[in-house]
Amino acid sequence: MTGDEAADRSALWQLTAMRTARLDARDLMDATLARIAVSDLNAIVSLRERDALLAEAASPRPGPLSGLPMAVKDLADTAGIRTTYGHPAFADHVPEADAPMVARLRAAGAIVIGKTNTPEFGLGSHSYNPVHGTTLNPFDRTRSAGGSSGGAGAALAARLVSLADGSDMMGSLRNPAAWNDVFGMRPSWGLVPPAPQGDPVLHALSTDGPMARDPDDLELLLSVMAAPDPLVPGSGPYRPAAPRPLRIGWLGDWGGAYAMEQGVLALCEAGLDGLAEPMAPPFPAEALWEAWTTLRSFAIAQKMRPLWTDAFAAASKPALVWEVERGRALTLDAVARASSIRADWTRAMAALPVDVIALPSAQCFAFEATLDWPKRIAGREMDTYHRWMEVVVPASLAGLPAISVPVGFHDGLPMGVQLIGRRGADGDLIALARRLWRAAAGERRISGA
């Protein structure tokens, strides 16, 4: 089989073929670079030199990902490879060391070929920035690929790579997965330990996680990304789970709290294959939103504190300035109230009579790539740059595992359903996603991108 034919196959197939000498890692690398060269999606940026990559493929490091080309999200530091965070102040930044997650990928044998595009510091679910430009959707090149792992989602859908990492604070693994007809998983917080900086408990909102075109590949990458870390609660190796009956509650639009574009709810409910039962909202949506926006602004302001000057703010996107200014103005009482709401929601989720709650992964289909963000959904005004992403908050606020599973297309644009499980039940979610994926096998549409 040629490298180009192999590039269409799953990561597990590619890895098995390389281990059994049916596929040469150099042929796969050559095909990968050829596809990237002709792609018009702007999904992969800061690409390394061809000769260096082919040389690395000639003698890849052994491991579960040996010889596999991967592009790392441009929010994660990569030693020797430009890492911009999508911000002009870092346009020429080349880190000296890998982020811990990247180090684990390299140790597993993955060959880091470059970066995947992301919005500035990952803010907003639309991957555009002044350094690298806009990533386009493989299914409609006038539309957004989502974000902040939009470059990763588009690269997977277009079969430029077979595995991709991402990160998720506010749906950044789930929204682009839905819009690119792939899988994206936000693990239980801590399972993939963050870099050792700041307070890992106080700001437990964002996490790295895997993206792939099928559940088996997703599970493989999660098993590499996860690792025990004595400094991070909840860290440890990923443990697969055998399929078992799970009770699923369908929350839809959370009792009307979340505006939904026409077609989203019907696709997602159908994608659950009759396994879910309707349920009433288990917690006030506005309380979740209050807690989330407070803790998010607080975390972002604290993260940006070492960089924040008048000149840096002037060069930053309005959403980042808004978050930092809002976070710096918060009172101790406001942060304490938000933390209390988060604790109440965590307890409420743990007491639910279902194992999994299901909602759409996004509230609208991919919007025009020229927009900053959608200002209205279903006639309802979106009052902030991220209100249209509110459906992802229940999982993010409590650090719960959530996976986006493709459910089909509406007017040519894909969508995914979001499955949210109990903390630590990551294996159960992947097993459920695998069941739904196999049940819908006859109806899946394969991208020609």
Any residues with CB less than 8 A from the CB of 260 and at least 6 apart, and which?
252, 253, 360, 363, 364, 377, 378
- Token reading at 243: 């399929």
Considering 39, 127, 172, 396, which one is annotated as catalytic? 172
- Tell me whether residue 73 is one of the annotated catalytic residues: yes
- Cis link prior to 144 (omega < 30° from 0)? no
Closest CA to 179 of 406, 435, 419, 437: 406
- Tell me whether residue 361 is one of the annotated catalytic residues: no
Q: CA 223 from chain center: how many Å?
A: 16
Residue with tokens 């890692």: 25
Q: What is the largest CA-CA distance in the chain?
A: 63
Let me know: does 278 contact 252? Beta carbons within 8 Å: yes
Identity (one letter) of the amino acid at 82?
R
Residue 69, SS3 per DSSP:
strand
**By CB neighbour count within 10 A (0-12 exposed, 13-18 middle, 19+ buried), where does 256 fall?**
exposed
Considering 73, 115, 303, 317, which one is annotated as catalytic? 73
Compute the Cα dihedral for 47, 99, 323, 261 and give only its sign.
positive
- Tell me whether residue 66 is one of the annotated catalytic residues: no
Q: How far apart are CA 355 and CA 401, in angstroms?
A: 12
Q: How far apart are CA 208 and CA 188, in angstroms?
A: 10
Considering 125, 127, 144, 148, which one is annotated as catalytic? 148
Active site residues: 73, 148, 172
